[in-house]
């Protein structure tokens, strides 16, 4: 491990805005019987107010969480990611700028229900999540994850999905359709289509969003309400969601000057 990572990990321990729970304690009773963390149901005490709580899952370095919080001090924002070296940047910024409405949680998103009580969260942001082409249950907008969100979202709680992946966008649309979820806003090209969205949706951009915009790829956006009763189901019919077709429709991507994993796969299979 590099010295810079070790330095960041050490400094992370000093940030009061960063919670780093022990996975071993959460999993003491097994993966399917997570132990609740002490912070569950007590986030408002941690923030010192009763303002609405908004999560960003897979927040990376936290720049989106920070930007949302700076624009809206009337809400509390929590960025969640498993990578401590990434979270260091957001936690350091929040600490140095004394942002009272920002927190970060270092944990796997699969463990999210161990940290939030029913009705404790108002909104969830999914920003440029991994499309997880091969594993539906790993997609952060899959029925499995929507069930997790429903366990802690307030009635009428909103999920925002912002992504460059048309595959993931269309999958999420299909999930909304088969479960009859109320869609609030939907666009396949956020910056070139006239669709009504909250100003912050266009005003705040992640690092990867800027990267893909520079490459000329459209950014999609979908927001919907978790207002479904009963179990969530997956789109199974190709007419509901044609996985192969939408995966083939993904264009080539460059990450830091190199092909992305999906672009390499498509080239290997002669799809590009």
245 inside domain: no
Lookup result for tokens 């912070």: 39
pLDDT at 260: 65
Report the residue count for the chain: 272
Residue 72 C-beta-side C-alpha neighbours within 13 Å:
17
CATH number of the domain where residue 54 is located: 3.40.50.150
In this predicted model, what pLDDT tens digit does every residue of 1-17 receive, in sequence order?
A: 577 888 999 999 999 99
In this predicted model, what pLDDT tens digit does every residue of 241-272 receive, in sequence order?
A: 999 999 988 877 766 566 566 666 565 556 55
252 inside domain: no
* Confidence bin at 149 (pLDDT 50/70/90): very high
pLDDT at residue 83 is higher than 90: yes
Q: How many domains does the chain have?
A: 1
In this predicted model, what pLDDT tens digit does every residue of 128-141 receive, in sequence order?
A: 999 999 999 999 99
* Confidence bin at 28 (pLDDT 50/70/90): very high
109 inside domain: yes
In this predicted model, what pLDDT tens digit does every residue of 192-233 receive, in sequence order?
A: 998 989 999 999 999 889 988 998 899 999 999 998 889 999
193 inside domain: yes
Residue 19 C-beta-side C-alpha neighbours within 13 Å:
20
* Cα gap 105→74, rounded to integer Å: 20
* Residue 28: domain span: 3-239
251 inside domain: no
Active-site pick, 4, 36, 72, 130: 130
Q: Is 130 a known active-site residue?
A: yes
256 inside domain: no
pLDDT at 263: 66
pLDDT at residue 237 is higher than 70: yes
SS3 content of the chain, % helix, strand, coil (to 5): 35, 20, 45
Overall average pLDDT of the 10-26 stretch: 94
73 inside domain: yes
147 inside domain: yes
């Amino acid at each position: 491990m590099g010295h810079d990572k070790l330095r960041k990990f050490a400094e992370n321990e000093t940030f009061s805005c960063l919670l780093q729970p022990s996975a071993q304690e959460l999993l003491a009773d097994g993966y399917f019987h997570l132990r609740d963390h002490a912070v569950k149901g007590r986030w408002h005490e941690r923030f010192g107010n009763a303002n609405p709580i908004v999560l960003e899952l897979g927040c990376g370095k936290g720049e989106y969480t920070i930007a949302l919080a700076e624009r809206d001090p009337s809400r509390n924002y929590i960025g969640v990611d498993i990578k401590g070296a990434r979270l260091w940047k957001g936690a350091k910024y929040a600490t140095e700028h004394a942002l009272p409405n920002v927190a970060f949680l270092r944990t796997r998103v699969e463990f999210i229900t161990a940290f939030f009580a029913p009705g404790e969260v108002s909104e969830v942001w999914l920003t440029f999540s991994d499309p997880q082409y091969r594993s539906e249950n790993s997609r952060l907008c899959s029925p499995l994850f929507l069930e997790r969100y429903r366990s802690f979202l307030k009635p009428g709680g909103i999920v925002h999905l912002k992504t460059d992946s048309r595959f993931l966008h269309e999958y999420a649309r299909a999930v909304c359709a088969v479960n009859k979820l109320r869609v609030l806003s939907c666009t396949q090209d956020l910056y070139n289509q006239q669709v009504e969205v909250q100003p912050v949706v266009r005003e705040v951009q992640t690092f990867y969003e800027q990267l893909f915009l520079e490459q000329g790829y459209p950014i999609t956006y979908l927001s919907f309400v978790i207002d479904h009763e009963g179990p969530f189901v997956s789109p199974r019919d190709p007419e509901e969601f044609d996985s192969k077709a939408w995966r083939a429709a993904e264009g080539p991507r460059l990450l830091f000057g190199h092909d992305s994993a999906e672009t390499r796969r498509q080239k290997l299979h002669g799809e590009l």
